[in-house]
Structure 1
Protein backbone atom coordinates (compact mmCIF):
# COMPACT_ATOMS: atom_id res chain seq x y z
CA UNK A 1 0.00 0.00 0.00
CA UNK A 2 1.32 3.41 -0.89
CA UNK A 3 1.73 6.08 1.81
CA UNK A 4 -1.46 8.11 2.40
CA UNK A 5 -3.73 5.56 0.70
CA UNK A 6 -6.86 4.42 2.48
CA UNK A 7 -7.02 0.79 3.55
CA UNK A 8 -9.16 -1.32 1.23
CA UNK A 9 -8.45 0.89 -1.80
CA UNK A 10 -5.64 -0.55 -3.82
CA UNK A 11 -3.96 1.65 -6.31
CA UNK A 12 -5.62 1.32 -9.64
CA UNK A 13 -9.15 1.09 -8.24
CA UNK A 14 -11.30 4.03 -9.19
CA UNK A 15 -13.73 5.75 -6.83
CA UNK A 16 -15.81 7.00 -9.77
CA UNK A 17 -19.42 5.93 -9.42
CA UNK A 18 -19.24 5.44 -5.67
CA UNK A 19 -21.94 7.21 -3.65
CA UNK A 20 -21.01 9.19 -0.56
CA UNK A 21 -23.45 7.72 1.97
CA UNK A 22 -22.71 10.44 4.52
CA UNK A 23 -24.99 12.87 2.66
CA UNK A 24 -27.89 10.41 2.69
CA UNK A 25 -27.38 9.65 6.39
CA UNK A 26 -27.14 13.37 7.17
CA UNK A 27 -30.47 14.07 5.49
CA UNK A 28 -32.05 11.18 7.37
CA UNK A 29 -30.77 12.47 10.72
CA UNK A 30 -31.83 16.06 10.07
CA UNK A 31 -35.36 15.06 9.15
CA UNK A 32 -37.65 15.23 6.15
CA UNK A 33 -37.96 19.02 6.18
CA UNK A 34 -34.21 19.53 5.85
CA UNK A 35 -34.02 16.88 3.12
CA UNK A 36 -36.87 18.52 1.20
CA UNK A 37 -35.23 21.94 1.56
CA UNK A 38 -31.97 20.51 0.19
CA UNK A 39 -33.92 19.32 -2.85
CA UNK A 40 -35.24 22.85 -3.40
CA UNK A 41 -38.59 22.92 -1.58
CA UNK A 42 -39.38 26.32 -0.06
CA UNK A 43 -41.43 26.09 3.12
CA UNK A 44 -40.81 29.66 4.19
CA UNK A 45 -40.10 30.39 7.82
CA UNK A 46 -41.97 28.87 10.74
CA UNK A 47 -45.16 30.83 11.36
CA UNK A 48 -45.35 32.47 7.94
CA UNK A 49 -48.59 30.61 7.06
CA UNK A 50 -50.10 31.98 10.30
CA UNK A 51 -49.12 35.56 9.50
CA UNK A 52 -46.56 35.75 12.30
CA UNK A 53 -43.23 37.58 12.06
CA UNK A 54 -40.07 35.59 11.38
CA UNK A 55 -38.17 36.88 14.44
CA UNK A 56 -38.76 38.86 17.60
CA UNK A 57 -41.94 39.35 19.64
CA UNK A 58 -44.94 37.51 18.22
CA UNK A 59 -42.84 34.96 16.31
CA UNK A 60 -43.14 31.20 16.85
CA UNK A 61 -41.58 30.13 20.14
CA UNK A 62 -38.35 28.15 19.70
CA UNK A 63 -38.44 24.48 20.63
CA UNK A 64 -35.71 24.78 23.27
CA UNK A 65 -37.60 27.46 25.18
CA UNK A 66 -40.81 25.44 25.03
CA UNK A 67 -39.06 22.38 26.46
CA UNK A 68 -37.45 24.57 29.11
CA UNK A 69 -40.81 26.04 30.07
CA UNK A 70 -42.48 22.66 30.43
CA UNK A 71 -39.52 21.46 32.50
CA UNK A 72 -39.89 24.44 34.86
CA UNK A 73 -43.66 23.92 35.10
CA UNK A 74 -43.31 20.18 35.75
CA UNK A 75 -40.61 20.74 38.40
CA UNK A 76 -42.87 23.27 40.13
CA UNK A 77 -45.78 20.80 40.08
CA UNK A 78 -43.57 18.01 41.45
CA UNK A 79 -42.44 20.27 44.30
CA UNK A 80 -46.03 21.13 45.15
CA UNK A 81 -47.08 17.46 44.95
CA UNK A 82 -44.16 16.36 47.14
CA UNK A 83 -45.19 18.78 49.87
CA UNK A 84 -48.08 18.00 52.16
CA UNK A 85 -50.05 15.90 49.66
CA UNK A 86 -47.99 12.81 48.83
CA UNK A 87 -46.78 10.41 51.49
CA UNK A 88 -43.71 8.50 50.28
CA UNK A 89 -45.50 7.03 47.29
CA UNK A 90 -43.92 8.10 43.97
CA UNK A 91 -46.95 6.97 41.97
CA UNK A 92 -49.27 9.15 44.03
CA UNK A 93 -46.86 12.05 43.78
CA UNK A 94 -46.69 11.72 39.97
CA UNK A 95 -50.47 11.56 39.65
CA UNK A 96 -50.90 14.58 41.92
CA UNK A 97 -48.26 16.48 39.93
CA UNK A 98 -50.15 15.73 36.71
CA UNK A 99 -53.41 16.96 38.24
CA UNK A 100 -51.69 20.10 39.55
CA UNK A 101 -50.10 20.62 36.11
CA UNK A 102 -53.53 20.40 34.45
CA UNK A 103 -55.14 22.87 36.86
CA UNK A 104 -52.17 25.24 36.64
CA UNK A 105 -52.23 25.11 32.85
CA UNK A 106 -55.97 25.81 32.63
CA UNK A 107 -55.87 28.64 35.16
CA UNK A 108 -52.71 30.41 34.03
CA UNK A 109 -53.05 29.98 30.25
CA UNK A 110 -56.77 30.77 30.46
CA UNK A 111 -56.21 34.01 32.39
CA UNK A 112 -52.65 35.23 31.77
CA UNK A 113 -51.82 33.43 28.54
CA UNK A 114 -48.77 31.67 29.97
CA UNK A 115 -47.72 29.26 32.69
CA UNK A 116 -44.98 30.26 35.15
CA UNK A 117 -42.36 28.45 33.05
CA UNK A 118 -43.52 30.16 29.86
CA UNK A 119 -43.53 33.55 31.59
CA UNK A 120 -39.96 33.04 32.89
CA UNK A 121 -38.73 32.11 29.41
CA UNK A 122 -40.67 34.84 27.61
CA UNK A 123 -43.40 32.78 25.93
CA UNK A 124 -47.15 33.12 25.62
CA UNK A 125 -50.02 31.06 24.23
CA UNK A 126 -52.32 32.96 21.87
CA UNK A 127 -55.20 31.98 19.62
CA UNK A 128 -54.46 31.64 15.91
CA UNK A 129 -56.09 35.03 15.33
CA UNK A 130 -53.74 36.64 17.86
CA UNK A 131 -56.27 37.05 20.68
CA UNK A 132 -56.65 35.18 23.92
CA UNK A 133 -57.62 31.51 23.58
CA UNK A 134 -61.13 30.71 24.81
CA UNK A 135 -61.71 28.60 27.90
CA UNK A 136 -62.90 25.57 25.91
CA UNK A 137 -59.76 25.66 23.75
CA UNK A 138 -57.57 26.05 26.86
CA UNK A 139 -59.24 22.96 28.34
CA UNK A 140 -58.71 21.01 25.11
CA UNK A 141 -55.07 22.13 24.94
CA UNK A 142 -54.42 21.22 28.59
CA UNK A 143 -55.97 17.75 28.29
CA UNK A 144 -53.93 17.01 25.17
CA UNK A 145 -50.77 18.36 26.80
CA UNK A 146 -51.28 16.06 29.80
CA UNK A 147 -51.51 13.11 27.40
CA UNK A 148 -47.96 14.07 26.26
CA UNK A 149 -48.08 12.33 22.86
CA UNK A 150 -49.86 15.18 21.02
CA UNK A 151 -47.18 17.57 22.28
CA UNK A 152 -44.52 15.44 20.60
CA UNK A 153 -46.08 15.63 17.12
CA UNK A 154 -45.36 18.90 15.26
CA UNK A 155 -46.48 20.49 12.05
CA UNK A 156 -44.17 22.38 9.70
CA UNK A 157 -44.68 25.59 11.69
CA UNK A 158 -43.31 23.89 14.80
CA UNK A 159 -46.69 23.76 16.54
CA UNK A 160 -47.47 20.70 18.60
CA UNK A 161 -50.62 18.76 17.84
CA UNK A 162 -52.08 20.01 21.14
CA UNK A 163 -51.66 23.61 19.93
CA UNK A 164 -52.95 22.86 16.46
CA UNK A 165 -56.09 21.07 17.68
CA UNK A 166 -56.82 23.83 20.20
CA UNK A 167 -56.30 26.51 17.51
CA UNK A 168 -53.50 28.15 19.45
CA UNK A 169 -49.83 28.95 18.96
CA UNK A 170 -46.94 29.61 21.34
CA UNK A 171 -45.14 32.85 20.59
CA UNK A 172 -42.33 34.94 22.01
CA UNK A 173 -43.28 37.86 24.22
Structure 2
Protein backbone atom coordinates (compact mmCIF):
# COMPACT_ATOMS: atom_id res chain seq x y z
CA UNK A 1 0.00 0.00 0.00
CA UNK A 2 2.80 2.43 0.90
CA UNK A 3 4.61 1.55 -2.29
CA UNK A 4 1.49 2.33 -4.34
CA UNK A 5 0.99 5.68 -2.63
CA UNK A 6 4.63 6.55 -3.19
CA UNK A 7 4.35 5.73 -6.89
CA UNK A 8 1.14 7.77 -7.20
CA UNK A 9 2.61 10.79 -5.43
CA UNK A 10 5.74 10.58 -7.59
CA UNK A 11 3.57 10.40 -10.73
CA UNK A 12 1.54 13.45 -9.69
CA UNK A 13 4.72 15.38 -8.88
CA UNK A 14 6.08 14.60 -12.33
CA UNK A 15 2.86 15.83 -13.95
CA UNK A 16 2.89 19.02 -11.89
CA UNK A 17 6.55 19.75 -12.66
CA UNK A 18 5.89 19.25 -16.35
CA UNK A 19 3.69 22.34 -16.48
CA UNK A 20 6.03 25.25 -17.02
CA UNK A 21 5.72 28.13 -14.59
CA UNK A 22 6.81 31.60 -15.68
CA UNK A 23 7.89 34.42 -13.38
CA UNK A 24 7.79 38.09 -14.36
CA UNK A 25 10.29 40.60 -13.02
CA UNK A 26 9.58 44.30 -12.63
CA UNK A 27 11.63 45.30 -15.67
CA UNK A 28 9.61 43.09 -18.02
CA UNK A 29 11.96 40.12 -18.15
CA UNK A 30 10.41 36.70 -17.84
CA UNK A 31 12.08 33.79 -16.07
CA UNK A 32 11.21 30.11 -16.38
CA UNK A 33 10.86 27.66 -13.50
CA UNK A 34 14.68 27.25 -13.29
CA UNK A 35 15.16 31.06 -12.93
CA UNK A 36 16.71 31.34 -16.39
CA UNK A 37 15.78 34.37 -18.47
CA UNK A 38 13.59 33.66 -21.48
CA UNK A 39 14.00 35.78 -24.59
CA UNK A 40 10.92 37.56 -26.01
CA UNK A 41 10.97 35.25 -29.04
CA UNK A 42 10.82 32.19 -26.77
CA UNK A 43 7.93 33.74 -24.85
CA UNK A 44 6.09 34.38 -28.12
CA UNK A 45 6.69 30.74 -29.05
CA UNK A 46 5.12 29.61 -25.75
CA UNK A 47 2.13 31.91 -26.28
CA UNK A 48 1.53 31.13 -29.95
CA UNK A 49 -1.47 28.90 -29.15
CA UNK A 50 -3.29 31.63 -27.22
CA UNK A 51 -3.80 34.66 -29.45
CA UNK A 52 -5.22 36.87 -26.69
CA UNK A 53 -2.19 36.37 -24.43
CA UNK A 54 0.15 36.82 -27.37
CA UNK A 55 -1.53 40.10 -28.35
CA UNK A 56 -1.36 41.35 -24.75
CA UNK A 57 2.33 40.39 -24.50
CA UNK A 58 3.14 42.14 -27.78
CA UNK A 59 1.24 45.23 -26.60
CA UNK A 60 3.23 45.19 -23.36
CA UNK A 61 6.53 44.94 -25.23
CA UNK A 62 5.47 47.84 -27.50
CA UNK A 63 4.62 49.91 -24.43
CA UNK A 64 8.06 49.12 -23.01
CA UNK A 65 9.72 50.36 -26.21
CA UNK A 66 7.64 53.55 -26.30
CA UNK A 67 8.30 54.18 -22.60
CA UNK A 68 12.05 53.74 -23.07
CA UNK A 69 12.09 56.09 -26.07
CA UNK A 70 10.14 58.75 -24.15
CA UNK A 71 12.32 58.39 -21.04
CA UNK A 72 15.64 58.53 -22.85
CA UNK A 73 14.41 61.21 -25.27
CA UNK A 74 13.16 63.42 -22.42
CA UNK A 75 16.41 63.11 -20.51
CA UNK A 76 18.36 63.76 -23.71
CA UNK A 77 16.39 66.91 -24.53
CA UNK A 78 16.94 68.29 -21.04
CA UNK A 79 20.66 67.47 -21.17
CA UNK A 80 21.00 69.17 -24.57
CA UNK A 81 19.26 72.26 -23.23
CA UNK A 82 21.59 72.37 -20.21
CA UNK A 83 24.65 72.13 -22.47
CA UNK A 84 23.30 74.84 -24.78
CA UNK A 85 22.43 77.08 -21.82
CA UNK A 86 25.88 76.63 -20.29
CA UNK A 87 27.73 77.44 -23.51
CA UNK A 88 25.82 80.53 -24.62
CA UNK A 89 26.12 83.98 -23.17
CA UNK A 90 22.52 84.87 -23.83
CA UNK A 91 21.17 88.00 -25.47
CA UNK A 92 23.01 91.20 -24.60
CA UNK A 93 21.05 94.44 -24.89
CA UNK A 94 22.64 97.86 -24.62
CA UNK A 95 20.27 100.65 -23.63
CA UNK A 96 21.77 104.03 -22.96
CA UNK A 97 24.59 103.50 -20.51
CA UNK A 98 23.44 100.08 -19.15
CA UNK A 99 24.13 96.61 -20.48
CA UNK A 100 21.60 93.84 -19.79
CA UNK A 101 22.12 90.13 -20.47
CA UNK A 102 19.19 87.75 -20.75
CA UNK A 103 19.61 84.04 -20.21
CA UNK A 104 17.66 81.75 -22.53
CA UNK A 105 17.63 78.87 -20.10
CA UNK A 106 15.36 76.95 -19.56
CA UNK A 107 14.09 76.92 -23.10
CA UNK A 108 11.34 74.94 -24.79
CA UNK A 109 13.62 71.88 -24.99
CA UNK A 110 13.54 71.52 -21.21
CA UNK A 111 9.76 71.72 -21.07
CA UNK A 112 9.34 69.21 -23.91
CA UNK A 113 11.78 66.89 -22.10
CA UNK A 114 9.83 67.21 -18.85
CA UNK A 115 6.59 66.46 -20.68
CA UNK A 116 8.17 63.35 -22.25
CA UNK A 117 9.32 62.20 -18.81
CA UNK A 118 5.84 62.78 -17.37
CA UNK A 119 4.28 60.65 -20.12
CA UNK A 120 6.96 57.93 -19.86
CA UNK A 121 6.26 57.11 -16.21
CA UNK A 122 2.67 55.81 -16.61
CA UNK A 123 3.57 54.08 -19.87
CA UNK A 124 6.39 52.17 -18.17
CA UNK A 125 4.13 51.26 -15.24
CA UNK A 126 1.45 50.03 -17.66
CA UNK A 127 3.76 47.72 -19.60
CA UNK A 128 4.95 45.87 -16.50
CA UNK A 129 1.37 45.33 -15.32
CA UNK A 130 0.37 44.03 -18.75
CA UNK A 131 3.26 41.55 -18.89
CA UNK A 132 2.58 40.38 -15.30
CA UNK A 133 -1.06 39.76 -16.23
CA UNK A 134 0.03 37.69 -19.24
CA UNK A 135 2.38 35.59 -17.08
CA UNK A 136 -0.28 35.06 -14.40
CA UNK A 137 -2.87 34.02 -16.98
CA UNK A 138 -0.42 31.65 -18.68
CA UNK A 139 0.47 30.01 -15.36
CA UNK A 140 -3.21 29.72 -14.45
CA UNK A 141 -4.07 28.08 -17.76
CA UNK A 142 -1.10 25.72 -17.71
CA UNK A 143 -1.95 24.45 -14.21
CA UNK A 144 -5.57 23.82 -15.19
CA UNK A 145 -4.58 22.07 -18.40
CA UNK A 146 -6.21 24.46 -20.88
CA UNK A 147 -3.45 24.04 -23.42
CA UNK A 148 -4.80 23.60 -26.94
CA UNK A 149 -2.43 20.73 -27.75
CA UNK A 150 -2.63 18.87 -24.47
CA UNK A 151 -6.17 18.04 -23.41
CA UNK A 152 -5.42 15.07 -21.20
CA UNK A 153 -7.46 13.80 -18.30
CA UNK A 154 -6.23 11.64 -15.45
CA UNK A 155 -8.75 9.68 -13.38
CA UNK A 156 -8.31 7.54 -10.30
CA UNK A 157 -10.34 4.35 -10.70
CA UNK A 158 -11.21 1.99 -7.85
CA UNK A 159 -13.13 -1.26 -7.92
CA UNK A 160 -13.19 -4.58 -6.07
CA UNK A 161 -9.99 -5.69 -7.79
CA UNK A 162 -7.87 -2.66 -6.79
CA UNK A 163 -6.90 0.91 -7.61
CA UNK A 164 -5.85 2.18 -11.01
CA UNK A 165 -5.19 5.28 -13.09
CA UNK A 166 -6.86 6.06 -16.41
CA UNK A 167 -5.15 8.58 -18.70
CA UNK A 168 -7.37 9.93 -21.49
CA UNK A 169 -5.76 11.84 -24.34
CA UNK A 170 -8.12 13.92 -26.47
TM-score of the alignment, normalized to the shorter chain, above 0.5: no
TM-score by length of 1: 0.28
TM-score by length of 2: 0.28
> More helix per residue: 1 or 2?
2
Larger gyration radius, structure 1 or structure 2: 2
> More strand per residue: 1 or 2?
2
